[in-house]
Structure 1
């Protein structure tokens, strides 16, 4: 039984290794600190090392247990909805505020799938909006207005 190498896996893994390595090397320009008192370079170093390690694992998998890959049709609805959601968030978060922008963005991304029903998408959007507000505005104390000036708040 002959094993085939998966060229897409090897190339993707190599790209991950290059990007992760670049982040790790770039973080050396900042103070790393100690595990209890991390400096500004600690997080990029950690993320870069993890991304590079995942890239190495993908390369090894592509070389050892490669398999033929078949691609289906391109999900244009999903691509369009997600790109629209990201552009919408970036252009309206200051004017509409965090809560409505996050809700619409989450709704658009949930509706990217043809298998998601409207009620499920609304529930997911509501849950993600509450979670994002708690994490970013309450927990991390980002100075983002909850309701923007476009809404009269």
Structure 2
């Protein structure tokens, strides 16, 4: 089998994506699917699982057909986990979840975006603040103005509601 696999990393990644798609489809199998004209709660997750499985199949076939990057294969032998980025992105999600009710959507989104932007090696305070302002404005435009969701921009801790 070793000579049929040209890029083991791509093959394993493709198999992992297909496995995850099948697992999530199985988890949502008790939800009613409905039809395209009248979608049930299980329709969209099933479509996403299908897309994930298709992408996994593409990655798997690519790993069987094409040789992977030699430098990437050498780097794969030296596995290094970017702990700083992993911790900061996870922290930003936790901070958003804990602060969205007391602070409101704007400050919670701002904190989450700024904290996650510090995970980049190319981080600068100016770029982080600009990205934060753009994302907060985008969230306001989409969720509050566009969709009309009843989310306060400022929570009770900041005088909102």
Range of TM-score over shorter length: 0.7 to 0.9
Alpha-carbon separation, structure 2, partners of 1:80 and 1:138: 33
From the superposition, tell whether residues 33 and 121 of structure 1 become closer, same or farther in structure 2 (CA, over 3 Å): same
**TM-score, scaled to structure 1:** 0.84
For structure 1, list consecutive stretches of 5 or more residues without a partner in the other structure: none
Tell me the C-alpha RMSD between the 2 structures. Answer: 2.3
Of 99-108 and 15-24, more deviation after overlay is shown by 15-24
Secondary structure, counterpart of 2:21 in structure 1: helix
**TM-score, scaled to structure 2:** 0.80
Query: Following TM superposition, by how much is the alpha carbon of 1:4 offset from its aligned partner in structure 2, in angstroms?
Result: 5.5
Secondary structure, counterpart of 1:16 in structure 2: helix
Alpha-carbon separation, structure 2, partners of 1:26 and 1:80: 28
Of 74-83 and 15-24, more deviation after overlay is shown by 74-83
Alpha-carbon separation, structure 2, partners of 1:51 and 1:132: 26
The answer to whether the 8 A contact 1:98-1:146 is kept is yes
From the superposition, tell whether residues 84 and 26 of structure 1 become closer, same or farther in structure 2 (CA, over 3 Å): closer
Candidates 68, 92, 95, aligned match of 2:99? 92
The answer to whether the 8 A contact 1:111-1:121 is kept is yes
From the superposition, tell whether residues 38 and 101 of structure 1 become closer, same or farther in structure 2 (CA, over 3 Å): same
Of 51-60 and 10-19, more deviation after overlay is shown by 10-19
Corresponding residue number in structure 2 for 1:60 = 61
From the superposition, tell whether residues 111 and 35 of structure 1 become closer, same or farther in structure 2 (CA, over 3 Å): same
Of 89-98 and 26-35, more deviation after overlay is shown by 26-35
Q: Is the aligned partner of 1:126 residue 2:133?
A: yes
Corresponding residue number in structure 2 for 1:47 = 48
> How many residues of Structure 1 are paired with residues of Structure 2 in the alignment?
152
Candidates 101, 105, 111, aligned match of 2:112? 105
